[in-house]
Chains A and B, each alone.
Chain A
Amino acid sequence: MIQIRELIETDIDEVFELEKQIFQSDAWSKQNLLSDSQASHTNYLVVQDNQQVVGYAGLSSPPGSFQADINTIAIAESHRRQGLARQLVQRMIQMATRNGAENMFLDVRADNSSAIKLYESFGFEQIDVRKNYYQPAGVDALVMRKQIRQPLVMGIETSCDETGVGIVRGNRLISNALNSSMEIHARFGGVVPEVAARAHLEALKPTIDSALSEAGIEIADLDAISVTNGPGLSGALMVGIGAAKAIAVAHDKPLYAVNHLVGHVGADILERGSLQTPSIALLVSGGHTSLLLVRDLLDDVELLGETIDDAAGEAFDKVARVLGLPYPGGPEIDRVAINGNPQAIRFPRGLTLPKDMAEHKYDFSFSGLKTAVARYVEKAEDAGEEVHIADVAASFREAVVDVLISKAVKACAEFEVPRLILGGGVTANARLREVAKQRCEEAGIELRIPKFSLCTDNGAMIASLGAQLVMAGREPSGLGFGSESTMDVSKVQSL
């Protein structure tokens, strides 16, 4: 039985034998084949007949290049003229599309007319000739290109207090319009669901209009719409869902209902041009504190842990109130902490004791920390002592950051994932970024922090996740989905 699958390291000997037979003097060394096939920016496939490798192909698509190259494609003499090369090219095009390539390139011998015909049938066109490229025969190489039209997608985000509408084309950010109701919530000391939902309705039209005008496109140009349908505040989510469904019907566009937290991970695609997996993602905001293991953005996102009480951002807001600082607490605490000593007071690190680690290894808890800060301040005030707000703020912030980053780095080590992505509004916190940078460097972990407009809730990240679904050929969600305020991260798309 013939099967096409991903190349694994143990295939390399067989692949190298084929390489030598087929390309002879042009053959790559085994070492080159191995390193190229195992690189993070390549995808290699093998064709297997029973237990034997009878063909292979390699695609290279470096992050952020928006292009893909077919590095090699080969079928054993014994298995030619069975359409296997055609299947491999088709798979390469699918992978290039999914990797965000807008152009796909390859070289082919000018005397290999059957290969040229095959590529032409997939829409490749000759764009250049490299004279005498293949030596010693002195055969020219044709450079061929296929343009890939990546999907133009509008994303709508209304899960909390930000009304976001963003537009992406494939892996590329086109526009990202935002209206926040944060200022209205300030007097209540936190996000009030009814207030947020009212604000979304009012912000809807202006945000849609600015996303479209910023992008310089017409709504009719869109290939799909995506919308957050959870997790988040139900009443707020429903405003976005109502709008998205109406837009989908009004212009007969496919609609994708997507997961807000997975959207945060997808934001890094817009920053670097593609998402590197596996990745650990730490999402920290006023509503969420979640640690995710992302093996594949669309098919394998696992929740390692989350807060069991307050979100980290919520803790900042509550402690700011204790210290008499305004809402939102994050930037305020950052501001006063500059002059404080982070070691001045040893506040508790939630869920880090051995007994907690057994059950809550990657979970977080900030409620006890908030109470500890309040007790400390009240005790000092009752005793008539002056409270050194800068020290309290700095020490509190240190406790939050310490736990967040320690657990994230621990997860990277345990799952042997050399990459950490931060997302959510709390990534604006100066100390969080500083400690993350320092500890990731020490541990040899690559740290990814998208720019702030992509870290905080936004429509572009939802558009990005929608685009990934389109690029992977997924079916749209239909019109019948609802909001799910407590959606699990493993549910990337609602059908």
Chain B
Amino acid sequence: MAVVDGQKVLGFSEFEDRFGHAENIGNAIAQALQQAKISAADIESVAISRGPASYTGLRVGMAAGVAFAAVRSIPLHGVVALDAVATALPNAKSEQWMVISDAKRGEFFCCRYSGIDESGLAIRSSEPEVIKPEQLEKYSDLATVDSNSDAKLIGLYAEKAIAAGVDLSDSTALYLRSPDVTPSTKKRVSG
């Protein structure tokens, strides 16, 4: 959770617990506000990561963001996490590059970019998608950079994008995969 004002980070909290999103979300918000020395009533809008990310954890953060914005009657902005990371990469100027993250089940979430626009936002050259490792092989000549996706990046991206007039009104989760179920069929019980 981060509190940002323009391109300044006023407060930031992070809990390193892959399975503790529901436990930690309340304290994450409270601590970030406390560090920023502002009250919840001072927040002017909420930016949430729409993912793609691990579904259960993603939803905890999104639910909190949606509810916070709803009950404070302030705007809600949806940010694609890959865009936020792409925009924050320091050495990504005009080259082709892509951002990938772990999508579990041996797959990756991926989005390709080509350059930075005049507002400083990464320009997408593909839509966010799920790819298999072998699809990554053709990009093997690209240099790799490790980057974290955290709440600061989401907030900073949203500030930049809003200033540039980018529409962030889509605040639905970006799952990129359908739920793993198949319609039921009737099965025999007797042999």
Which residues of A line the B interface, CB within 8 A? 187-190, 192, 194-195, 197-198, 200-202, 204-205, 208-209, 219, 234-235, 237-252, 255, 321-322, 324, 371, 374-375, 378-379, 479-483
Contact = CB atoms under 8 A, between A and B. Distances in A.
A243 B64 contact: yes
B92 interface: no
The SS class assigned to the A binding surface is: helix
Contacts of A321: 184, 186
Contact of A235 (B56, B64, B182): B56
A245 B70 contact: no
Nearest to B24: A480
B27 A479 contact: yes
24 contacts: A187-B183, A187-B184, A188-B182, A192-B181, A198-B173, A198-B179, A200-B59, A201-B59, A204-B67, A205-B66, A237-B22, A238-B63, A239-B59, A241-B22, A242-B22, A242-B61, A243-B67, A248-B26, A249-B26, A251-B71, A321-B184, A378-B189, A480-B24, A482-B22
A208 B71 contact: yes
A242 B59 contact: yes
Contacts of B184: 187-190, 321
B29 interface: yes
B1 to A, nearest CB: 10
B186 A322 contact: yes
Contacts of A239: 59-60, 63
A480 B175 contact: no
Interface string B29-47: 1100100000010000000
A200 B30 CA distance: 24
B67 A205 contact: yes
B173 A480 contact: no
Interface residues of B, number: 40
B21 interface: yes
B26 to A, nearest CB: 3
B65 interface: yes
Nearest to B19: A482
A209 B65 CA distance: 15
Contact of A378 (B20, B63, B70, B188): B188
A208 to B, nearest CB: 5
Contact of A243 (B40, B63, B182): B63
A219 B26 CA distance: 18
Contacts of B21: 238, 242
Given A188-B183, A243-B67, A374-B189, 13 more contacts: A198-B55, A238-B22, A242-B22, A242-B61, A243-B66, A245-B26, A246-B25, A246-B65, A249-B30, A249-B33, A324-B186, A480-B23, A482-B20
A247 B67 contact: yes
Contacts of B65: 246
A378 B55 CA distance: 40
B72 interface: yes
